[in-house]
Amino acid sequence: MRNTSLFLILIFSAMSLKAQFQKATAPVAEKKEHWRTLHDDKVLDEYYWMYDYFGKGPDSTSVVNYLTAENSYLDAVMSNTKTFQENLFAEMKGRIKEKDESVPVFKNGYFYYTRTEDGKQYYKYCRKKGTLDATEEILLDVDQMAEGHSYYSATGFEVSEDNKLLAFGVDLVSRRQYSIHFKNLETGEILKDAIQNTEGDPCWANDNKTIFYTSKNPVTLLSEKIQRHTLGTNAATDVLVYEEKDKSNYIGVGKSKNNKYIFIVSQATMSSEYRMIDAAKPNDAFKVFQPRMKDVLYSVIPLANKFLIRTNKDDAKNFKLMECPLEKTEVANWKEVIPVRNDVLLQGVEEFKDFIVINERKDGLVKLRIRSLKDNTEHYLDFGEPAYSANFGANPEYNSSVLRYGYTSLTIPSSTFDYNMTTRVKTLKKQQEVLGGYNSADYITERLSAIAKDGTKVPISLVYKKGFKKDGNAPLLLYGYGSYGASMDASFSSARLSLLNRGFVYAIAHIRGGQEMGRQWYEDGKLMKKINTFNDFIDCGKFLITEKYTGKKHLYAMGGSAGGLLMGAIVNLAPEMWNGIVAQVPFVDVVNTMLDESIPLTTNEFDEWGNPKNKDAYFYMKSYSPYENVEKKSYPNMIVTTGLHDSQVQYFEPAKWVARLRAMKTDNNVLLLHTNMDYGHGGASGRFDYLKDVALNYVFLFTLEGISK
């Protein structure tokens, strides 16, 4: 049972709200007439001018002024909570072990790891030769490299086959446009070679002087070309080896785990295609593995004597595993290894010299299935919890019999295990240390099922602290995503303890549009079935109220990006259900964004949302798009976050949405917009700074519950 003082605080929350949320005058965005006419449908978009920042047109200054005014308004409204935010930030930061080290990963004769230091936001990327007792080499001091930058992201660390050169990507703006740089690991020199506007994905050929990389369209940010660079040459002369003509496809390049092949992958939502060369012959022309087939996805896993293919060919909705000879890769030569199963989603394969490990999902949970390549004997790893997340860890060594995997749950901190596939012995290598005396036995996790309006059972994972009383008075934060087939597995968060320790229940709604229950689960929550995603989430909320895990006055919802679209939809469909909403970088202007092919990601995602140039798709999108459906009615308390440099969901979507909500809503509830003027989609790059945004969102929720410390 929650303590008496907290219970009294909840009863008198209305009095606390008056004391904590300060009155201030909200900014009023200017309205400018702009009409969209399509399919004989004429729509006024009075905030269309907010698109202008990156175009640097006449309204770009007005955009910044408006976003700044909204930030000032948020500061004024939340002014009495600043000390609470600072204390909460310190509390969450205090659970993080500042001086720490990752579990070393062995590759090509070296152990690679990162380590962090007290007070530092970033890390050192290091290695030791042959043994962990060897002298440490600091390959990159990212703490030092990030000095003077408000945002700094380093990625794509790839060492040449001779272990002498390091290639890596750097993004200073948070728009995922990486420049690739090279370091001589023998001399410490950063080479003059620099390649701009890439995905940050360098891939070494076996000659130690050639790399392949993905270059981006500077406007749409689409991955359009694979290019080849030779060290010591001007990047302007790099050779184009592949150009993707289909703007609905993402492309990338990478080397196989056995170091024999370099693959170019082109994939859309519904089809894919691989190209390949011998990694020792970088100047060869890429050969198509199997030409793309309509509505067929496939991925390639090279073994010593054959290729494995994970595919949904022949209506294998949950995917099956096939194989083909090394020299005969066309589909006519594919043979079935593991058939499709209606109740099991085959998610991926990790290959080794003598084993393969198949990542499967059944009843919403991941199973790891180990098969010997010598005799085809099999067994499964057992995890033994009702709700958890398990996945492959870093396994770069092909000639290994040890599988590294990660495991976590709502109560178990992130854990790294090594599993010897020969002896079947499991070894815990590291578990995330939570400072301050965390005890998992103090918390309880449950797995429930809500019934959606069409009769579908929707899983819910939830966690709360012992002493929770199921009487409808506890605050509950319901999280959801429900898009792109992304499964929201139950995982641990040390920051979330600040919610649980103050009486909150935390729940994840595993709604359609994700892939928790198989591929059909995804397909039933996209395109012309997208409304299922929103209804599922609302029905999960209703179920939690009916079962008295919470009540309407204490139910909150959170989602980001496509999950922010979810937030926008549910406040239009069922505004009365929620006391507060946290919408993070929300994709809320669906129709307008999907009509603009100059916006990053638009053309890649026609198979996810539809193309509004198609009349049926247009009117279906318009029926749920949050921005299109704002009405004169009461809305719940809301905090909306965005980043000015966001490349995934542009800043103007949440800005326009908030402006229209301000103009239309009939309530006196709090509506706040926070724009981070330095960052993009993922927020701050430092390992502590992001907690300031978490603290802001949590304090917003706490204030609505009358919790002031």
Among residues 514, 517, 459, 518, the alpha carbon closest in space to that of 486 is found at 514
13 is catalytic: no
- Residue 209 is classified by DSSP as S
The letter for the amino acid at 55 is G
End-to-end CA distance of the chain: 19
In the residue annotation, 561 being an active-site residue is answered as yes
Contact status, residue 247 vs residue 611, Cβ threshold 8 Å: no
Q: Give the pairing of strands 580-584 and 637-643.
A: parallel
**Spatial contact of 214 and 198, defined as CB atoms under 8 Å apart:** yes
Q: Tokens 């507060």: give the residue.
A: 580
| DSSP characters over 530-587 | THHHHHHHHHHHHHHHHTTS--GGGEEEEEETHHHHHHHHHHHH-GGG-SEEEEES--
Active-site entry in 16, 272, 389, 561: 561
d(CA 682, CA 690): 9
Query: Phi and psi for 638 in degrees, rounded to 5?
Result: -145, 140
- From 215, 681, 685, 689, active-site residue: 681
Report the chain's C-alpha Rg in angstroms: 26
Q: Which of 698, 700, 592, 683 is nearest to 644 (CA)?
A: 683
Phi, psi of 179 (to 5 degrees): -95, 135
Please tell me the total number of residues recorded for the chain in this structure.
Answer: 709
The string of DSSP codes covering 389-430 is EEEE-----SS-SEEEEEEEESSS--EEEEEETTTTEEEEEE
Q: In the annotation, is 646 catalytic?
A: yes
Please state, in angstroms and rounded to a whole number, the distance separating the CA atoms of residues 126 and 399: 23
The token pair at 291 is 């030409």
User: How do beta strands 165-171 and 190-198 pair?
Assistant: unpaired
Per the rule left: phi > 0, alpha: psi between -120 and 50, beta: everything else, 548 is left
- For residue 656, give the nearest of 216, 11, 16, 53 by alpha carbon: 53
Report the C-alpha dihedral over residues 219, 596, 679, 251, rounded to 10 degrees. -60
Q: Which residue is catalytic, options 201, 489, 646, 689?
A: 646
Count Cβ atoms below 10 Å from residue 565 Cβ, excluding itself: 30
**Each residue of 480-516: b (16+ CB within 10 Å) or e?**
bbbbbbbbbbbbbbbbbbbbbebbbbbbbbbbbbbbb
Task: List beta partners, residue 382.
Answer: none
Alpha-carbon distance of 514 to 519, in angstroms, equals 8
> Secondary structure of the chain: what % helix, strand, coil (to 5)?
25, 35, 45
What kind and span of H or E run contains 226? strand 223-230
What's at 208, amino acid-wise? Answer: N
Active site residues: 561, 646, 681
